[in-house]
């Protein structure tokens, strides 16, 4: 069945966030800062009625970028990116991210950045993102790298 990508609410991300990104933790832990801001948007991937993936895009400035950018540059952060385990490796994550980038470009956003789990770094590199800075630990989750891409 073809995958469709559509905008969803913050609450609608929880079912996928919970089983992919907050495994074994209370459902309340699925909430992320900025989820309900007017500038934030959430994309869901669906196979028919089945919700199989999520990604959240939050207006937010990066820290410690390794180069200087125009003072009026506009930035977004990717958060809560996940695809349910039995649907991974089928191009759904790439599709979600590409849809998000399309929307950001249409809104003249200059750069997308995020904290990537070390296991997901090769996925993002395949899509043209670059690591910057040193590895760091996020409590309960593990090692991360900052990554970015100019849009
Ligand atoms: C990371 C994640 C979102 C990727 O989504 P996905 O749907 O599995 O990835 P895709 O099938 O779209 O992969 C796109 C490309 O990246 C590659 N890729 C995906 N995950 C990879 C990995 N861990 N290592 C190496 N390559 C990977 C795929 O092989 C594919 O390459 P291709 O275009 O040459 O075929 C998904 O695996 C996931 O939810 N993982 C667990 C949660 C997580 O780590 N989220 C990210 C938090 S920062």
The pLDDT tens digits for 10-62 are: 999 999 999 999 999 999 999 999 999 999 999 999 999 999 999 999 999 99
What CATH number corresponds to the domain at position 87?
Answer: 3.40.630.30
For 71-81, how does the pLDDT look when each residue is reduced to its tens digit (9 = 90+)? 899 999 999 99
The domain tally of the chain equals: 1
Report how far apart, in Å, the C-alpha atoms of 24 and of each of 4, 118, 119, 137 are. 28, 20, 19, 19
Phi, psi of 51 (to 5 degrees): -85, 115
**Residue with CA at minimum distance from ligand 1 atom 25:** 122
Whether 18 maps to a domain, the answer reads yes
For residues 117 and 120, give the distance between their C-alpha atoms in angstroms, rounded to a whole number.
Answer: 5
pLDDT at 67 > cutoff 90: no
Whether 100 maps to a domain, the answer reads yes
Q: Domain of 62?
A: 3-112
Ligand 1 center–CA 72 separation, angstroms:
32
Q: Taking the model in full, what pTM does it have?
A: 0.96
Whether 148 maps to a domain, the answer reads no
pLDDT at 120 > cutoff 90: yes
Whether 146 maps to a domain, the answer reads no
**Beta bridge partner(s), residue 132:** 146
pLDDT at 98 > cutoff 90: yes
For residues 151 and 136, give the distance between their C-alpha atoms in angstroms, rounded to a whole number.
Answer: 25
Whether 75 maps to a domain, the answer reads yes
Whether 137 maps to a domain, the answer reads no
Q: For ligand 1, what atom is nearest to the CA of residue 88?
A: 8
Whether 89 maps to a domain, the answer reads yes
Whether 69 maps to a domain, the answer reads yes
**Chain centroid to CA 37:** 16
User: Whole-number mean pLDDT of the chain?
Assistant: 96
pLDDT at 140: 86
31 lines ligand 1 (CB under 6 A): no
């Amino acid at each position: 069945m073809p995958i469709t990508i559509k905008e969803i609410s913050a609450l609608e991300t929880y079912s996928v966030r919970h089983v992919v990104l907050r495994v074994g933790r209370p459902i309340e832990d699925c909430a992320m800062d900025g989820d309900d801001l007017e500038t934030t948007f959430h994309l869901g991937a669906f196979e028919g009625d089945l919700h199989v993936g999520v990604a959240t895009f939050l207006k937010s400035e990066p820290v410690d970028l390794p180069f200087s950018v125009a003072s009026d540059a506009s930035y977004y952060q990717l958060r809560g990116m996940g695809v349910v385990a039995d649907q991974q490796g089928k191009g759904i994550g790439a599709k979600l991210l590409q849809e998000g980038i399309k929307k950001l470009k249409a809104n003249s956003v200059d750069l997308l950045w995020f904290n990537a789990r070390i296991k997901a770094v090769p996925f993002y590199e395949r899509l043209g993102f670059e690591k910057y800075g040193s590895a760091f630990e996020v409590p309960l989750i593990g090692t991360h790298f900052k990554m970015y891409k100019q849009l």
